[in-house]
Structure 1
Amino acid sequence: MVNKKIKRPFFIFNPKSFLYGEELLELAKVADEQAALYPEISVMVTAPFADLATVSAATTHITVTAQHMDGIVPGRGMGHVLPESLKSAGVGATFLNHAEQPMQLNELVAAVDRAKDLGILTIVCADSLEEAKAIASLGPDVILCEPTELIGTGQTSDDSYIEATNAAIRDIDDSISIMQAAGISTADDVYRTIKLGADGTGCTSGITKADHPKQMLIDMIEAVVRASKSE
């Protein structure tokens, strides 16, 4: 089921290509159960393209999210990701311009525009304060502020970076949700990030490489809820 809007706060489980098939589906169902328990937040799960329709069909409460989308229209486009195909598979959101799938500015503009045409939410990645400011002018739904050098390291962004990027984006357009997710590896990281003012966060290897991935996923989602409710 596709959520129309991203609620604040939110959590995104982004297993990239670490998981696929049945193993991914099991975790997506856990995320769906948590999303049902905590309807005040949004829970999103990405999947490889071949798994998106399966995950969508098996879940109700999460927003199924693509790892990438191209700003093309039906017709030619061999090897590209067609927005309409994502929509028909039950996708409600997509990442764009991730460090592992960077986009030229003209490609990014086209993809954001096509997503808006179809009602697909956009999570656009920025690896610096200046890039975050530039992307804010495109009006995405979410900007993911994530220094490339910290991805997968277990080292989170420092407080000053999180606070500076939060403030800069909100000065430009406070309707854009802000995601801070570099190096998130524990539930404590999740709690701290939300408490520092981010609207959302997410995780990859902290869950996929955990001794008990399902429990780590639950703990992280619960940390989002606790942070949002604490004074």
Structure 2
Amino acid sequence: MSTKINRPFFVFNPKSYLYGEELLAWAKRADELALKYPECSILVTVPYADIAAVKNATEQIIVTAQHMDGIKPGRGIGHVLPESIYHAGARAVFLNHAERPLTVSDLSQALKRAKELGIQTIVCADSIAEAQAVAIMGADVILCEPTELIGTGQTSDSAYIQQTNQAIKEIDETILVMQAAGISTAEDVYRTIELGADGTGCTSGITNAESPLEMLTEMVEALVKAYKERG
């Protein structure tokens, strides 16, 4: 399987809602969807302790770490070593999430280490200016997500989505743009892709749904449909 993130892509990010056997069941469902829809990439972010188990239980999804530190093997107790998550099976990583922010210096070092190992980077930015800065730094994917909208069920407005898409592509058209603030329904997914995003994702909209696995399925189907119809 390819571990390169292609457009369109969907990220299921269960944060700390899921772990162990329950997380494995969800990851396997995501893997089935990735096999059914090979034209899109499906990523699942998992806690560090579950990376190897999820990797060993799946074939098609891109297993993604929730964070890593820009360190090299050696000293650094309690830090997340890039080589460690790579060895466990992660081929992508989230950086600078609102719940795990990084200084500019730390982000730069983490990006450098990820490139050395072939780990793809999804870097969070909560403003157009920050997205432009991250684009210059060379992220593979930029998640444009105003911090105040995370988990609210309120999506970014059309102007924000279109402006951030344009601002990033003007700097580097190869960078993929992810818009995911407030995604809670399949309709939200469709609208976001329709407005020009390369990918989207969800956490509580899936984990808190009445039928979570069905919601995951509906969101991936909406992603594929919107991208095809966008042309």
Q: How does 1:150-229 map to 2 (within 5 A)?
A: 150-229=149-228
Render the CA deviation track for 1:23-43: whole Å, top value 9, x for unaligned. 111010000000000111000
Counterpart CA distance in 1 for 2:209 and 2:46 is: 18
Counterpart CA distance in 1 for 2:103 and 2:20 is: 31
Amino acid at match of 1:61: Q
Counterpart CA distance in 2 for 1:8 and 1:153 is: 26
Partner secondary structure for residue 65 of structure 1: strand
Render the CA deviation track for 1:99-133: whole Å, top value 9, x for unaligned. 00000001000000000000000000001011001
Amino acid at match of 1:118: L
Render the CA deviation track for 1:3-54: whole Å, top value 9, x for unaligned. 3311100000000001111111101000000000011100000111111110
Partner secondary structure for residue 122 of structure 2: strand
Render the CA deviation track for 1:31-88: whole Å, top value 9, x for unaligned. 0000000111000001111111100000000000000010000000111000000111
Amino acid at match of 2:219: M
Where in structure 2 are there 5+ consecutive unaligned residues?
A: none
Name the TM-score, length of structure 2 as normaliser: 0.98
Amino acid at match of 1:12: V
Question: Which residue of structure 2 lines up, in the alignment, with residue 73 of structure 1?
Answer: 72
Render the CA deviation track for 1:129-158: whole Å, top value 9, x for unaligned. 110011100111000000000000000000
Render the CA deviation track for 1:139-185: whole Å, top value 9, x for unaligned. 11000000000000000000000000000000000110000000000
Amino acid at match of 2:178: M
Q: How does 1:58-207 map to 2 (within 5 A)?
A: 58-207=57-206
Q: Runs in 1 of length 4+ with deviation above 3 angstroms?
A: none
Question: Which residue of structure 2 lines up, in the alignment, with residue 37 of structure 1?
Answer: 36
Amino acid at match of 1:144: L
Counterpart CA distance in 2 for 1:182 and 1:142 is: 15
Where in structure 1 are there 5+ consecutive unaligned residues?
A: none
Amino acid at match of 1:195: E
Partner secondary structure for residue 137 of structure 2: coil
Amino acid at match of 1:152: G
Partner secondary structure for residue 169 of structure 1: helix
Amino acid at match of 2:152: T
Counterpart CA distance in 2 for 1:4 and 1:56 is: 12
Amino acid at match of 2:68: M
What percent of counterpart residues are identical? 67
Counterpart CA distance in 1 for 2:141 and 2:200 is: 11
State the number of aligned residues: 230
Question: Which residue of structure 2 lines up, in the alignment, with residue 55 of structure 1?
Answer: 54
Counterpart CA distance in 2 for 1:160 and 1:18 is: 32
Q: CA RMSD in A?
A: 0.7
Partner secondary structure for residue 70 of structure 1: coil
Shift of 1:214: 0.5
Shift of 1:191: 0.5
